[in-house]
Amino acid sequence: MSNRTFTMIKPDAMKSGHAGAILDRIIKEGYRIVALKMTRLSETKAGEFYAVHKERPFYGELVEFMSSGPVIAAILEKENAVNSFRTLIGATDPAKADEGTIRKQFAASVGENAVHGSDSDENALIEGDFFFSSLERI
Ligand code: DAT
Ligand code: MG
């Protein structure tokens, strides 16, 4: 089991001014920030990042949303990072997310749900490499 995961603070949370509160929560939950940057995805890059969902009916909306404004991308370190972070962010649909989760607190809808969290160790590596070079990991 790897101790790293990858996250993004999505454009909705950036726009609503919740990026600071979300980072604060992540740090207070004991994650070490290995890498962090603010950037903006082009439609092409957003489409590449979510290529696994290409055939889903929401893919177009998802790509449009994820390229609609800046995001903060980060690699996080903690024991059992992928699973613990998925628990911290909560269900994809904030209406189904547990109390105390980041999505419950900050997400408005299933499409615009405030944060991303990798779903496996393998994808955490792929997603971290998508945004960060080795020199950008501390
Ligand atoms: P998660 O982000 O919890 O890993 P996912 O990988 O199934 O969820 O989907 C990726 C993103 O796609 C999700 O964060 C928001 C969007 N999405 C998923 N299901 C959706 C739906 N039914 N309608 C609209 N957007 C959806
Ligand atoms: Mg996913």
The reply to whether the predicted model has a pTM over 0.90 is yes
- Longest Cα–Cα distance of the chain, Å, equals 39
Quick one: pLDDT at residue 2?
81
ipTM above 0.95, yes or no: yes
The yes-or-no answer on residue 116 being catalytic is yes
Q: Assess whether pLDDT exceeds 70 at residue 37.
A: yes
Q: Assess whether pLDDT exceeds 80 at residue 63.
A: yes
Q: State the chain's mean pLDDT as an integer.
A: 97
Quick one: pLDDT at residue 95?
98
- Write down the catalytic residue from 116, 117, 118, 127: 116
Show the ligand 1 pocket: residues with CB < 6 angstroms. Answer: 53, 58, 62, 92, 110-111, 113, 116, 119
Strand partners, 54: none
Cβ-based neighbours of 108, under 8 Å, separated by 6 or more:
12, 94, 114
The domain 4-136 having CATH identifier 3.40.30.10: the answer here is: no
How many whole angstroms from 92 Cα to the centroid of ligand 1?
A: 6
Q: Assess whether pLDDT exceeds 70 at residue 1.
A: no
